[in-house]
Amino acid sequence: MNLTIENILLVGSILLFISIVVGKTSYKFGVPTLLLFLAIGMLAGSDGIGGIRFDDPKAAQFIGVVSLNFILFSGGLDTSWTSVRPILREGIVLSTLGVFLTAVSLGTFVWFVTDFTIYESLLLGSIVSSTDAAAVFSILRSKSLALKTNLRPTLELESGSNDPMAYVMTIAFLTLVINQDLSIVSIIPMFFQQMIVGGIAGFAFGRISKFIINKIDLDFEGLYPVLVIALMFITFSATDFVGGNGFLAIYICAVYLGNQDLIHKKTIFRMYDGLAWLMQIVLFLTLGLLVFPSQIIPYFGIGMLISFFLILVARPVSVFLSLIFFKMKLRRRFYISWVGLRGAVPIVFATYPLLAGIENANMIFNIVFFISVTSVLIQGTTLSLFAKWLKVALPEKAKKITEVDQLILDLPKSSLQEFEIKPDYYAVNKRIVDLNFPKSAFIVMIKRSEEYIRPGGSTELEANDILMVLADNQSDFTKVQDCLFNHDRETKP
């Protein structure tokens, strides 16, 4: 079956429905949901029972880039600065030096066991050098896996921030494969330009986006998530236009926004949580349709050899060398090594050689696809088991609810108090979003004269308003009182 304008929505919606239903029950059998999405796409493709012919790497790449925008942005919004600050250095080193060491070690091995040139080998190593944000985020959260001593934020920060490094290295070595006369030194300026411009642009667009979101007056709450989507794509495309790394920019922008007070923040978070899942499903289905299983079979042996080397040698070596100067228990290092999940991102990056038309592009694509599948299948199904073996998992009763979980799930606090806004209070005629209200407390209702008002970030407080505030303990209520009254309070970072 060929996809047409008339049937694409029907076929797409049926595949989406099947993916959601099958994914709901997949974990009963210990199978990662993302692998099921990929399998459904393959079954629906040319070599499967669906017979849908989809052989368009350019369309797949476009869908992949758009999907990665949503996945990385959602992951950035969910990243709590309080959680990642203690492990920021480890995360940055893993997402830069760790990716580089993985690419070089694996590329060298590929050079020895195949007839690829050294640049082609390093290109393949670069494509699969980063851990996949979609795979790590979805598997850790779907399994509700609680880990000790900041392990989870370390893994999520690494997976969310290392795609830009892998992307830059992929483009750099692809350039060297295409232009054999260039030296490896020639790609160094491009690397620094991509990373520096991307980092600066991400922070700058984050600040600009916060200003726009909080200052623009939209009549409907539902328009604010749409506004954020527009800002996300502007951040990515504008950064890419000036020569920076768009993936790095949108992740940094999202991390900044996720830790600021925004109007209708709860609505934005909930929408992105759903969109991230949608994009993961669409991305894996598309890549499943793109691949021809019959073409992968000839590469089974070499694919398995390279995959095992990546899982058992290249990833652990890169992690241990990257973290050599950090104080960390051995079993934590082993677990970080094991959570080196490869997923859809390497397959998306593998479409770049296909579109460039290099000689071994098809072989590289099929090997990368095989590596991604085996990684999710082997490592993704054993995360909980290895966590227990290495004693890095928290018992069920010790699992904590994060600030992001609180925001998305709308969990209740334990105490309720009322606060009256006196005429001389700092909060008079101020919007809630501008008060730096403590994240540990929530305004659930405002009583104004004889009316009850449901609060939002844009709600302006008036003299004699009575706020009904939920919080966990008295110290939270003290912060609320100070926030409402004291105009000389310190502004939080």
Separation of alpha carbons 275 and 334, rounded Å = 33
Helix (H, G, I), strand (E, B) or coil at 454: coil
pLDDT computed for residue 42 by the predictor: 81
- What percentage of the chain reaches a pLDDT higher than 70? 85
Phi/psi for 37 (5° steps) reads -60, -45
pLDDT confidence of residue 249: 94
> What pLDDT digit, counting tens, does each position of 337-375 carry?
998 888 778 888 999 999 988 888 989 998 998 898 888
- Stretch 79-91: mean pLDDT: 84
Question: What per-residue confidence (pLDDT) applies to 375?
Answer: 86
Residue 430 pLDDT > 60: yes
149 φ/ψ angles, rounded to the nearest 5 degrees: 45, 60
Interval 216-220 mean pLDDT: 82
Could you report how far apart the first and last alpha carbons of the chain are, in Å? 55
| pLDDT of amino acid 328 | 84
pLDDT digits (tens, 9 = 90+) for 117-163: 999 999 999 999 988 766 676 666 655 556 666 787 888 788 878 88
Q: What are the structural domains, with CATH classification, of the chain?
A: 8-393 (1.20.1530.20), 412-485 (3.30.70.1450)
Contact of 372 with 343, CB cutoff 8 Å: yes
The predicted pLDDT at position 397 comes to 45
Burial 204-238 (b: 16+ CB within 10 A, else e): bbbeebbeebbeeeeeeeeebbebbbebbeebbee
**Residue 2 backbone dihedrals phi, psi, to 5 degrees:** -95, 135
pLDDT in tens, 91-127: 899 999 999 999 999 999 999 999 999 999 999 999 9
pLDDT value, residue 93: 93
| CA nearest to 380, candidates 343, 332, 333, 347 | 343
For residue range 273-322, what is the model confidence (pLDDT) as tens digits? Answer: 888 888 888 888 888 888 887 888 888 899 999 999 999 999 999 999 99
- Give the pair of three-digit tokens for residue 319: 């992690």
197 has a pLDDT exceeding 90: yes
Report the C-alpha gap between 451 and 437 in whole angstroms. 23
Q: What is the pLDDT of residue 30?
A: 47
32-74, pLDDT tens digit by residue? 666 777 778 888 776 777 677 777 888 888 988 999 899 889 8
pLDDT category at 219 given cuts 50, 70, 90 is confident
DSSP class of 468: E
- Please name the residue that has the structure tokens 């609680």: 146
Q: What is the pLDDT of residue 482?
A: 80
pLDDT recorded at residue 142: 57
Per residue in 372-419, pLDDT tens? 888 888 887 787 788 888 888 765 544 454 555 555 445 444 577 788
- Residue 433: what are its φ and ψ, rounded to 5°? -65, -20
pLDDT at 141 (0 to 100): 60
Long-range pairs, 187-194, Cβ under 8 A, ≥24: 193/243, 193/244, 194/164, 194/168, 194/243, 194/244, 194/245, 194/248
- What pLDDT is attached to residue 23? 62
pLDDT of 28 higher than 60:
no
Q: Which residue has the higher pLDDT, 231 or 426?
A: 231
Find the radius of gyration of the CA atoms of the chain: 24
Give the global pTM. 0.77
Alpha-carbon distance 405 to 259, whole Å?
A: 13
pLDDT of 488 > 60? The answer is no
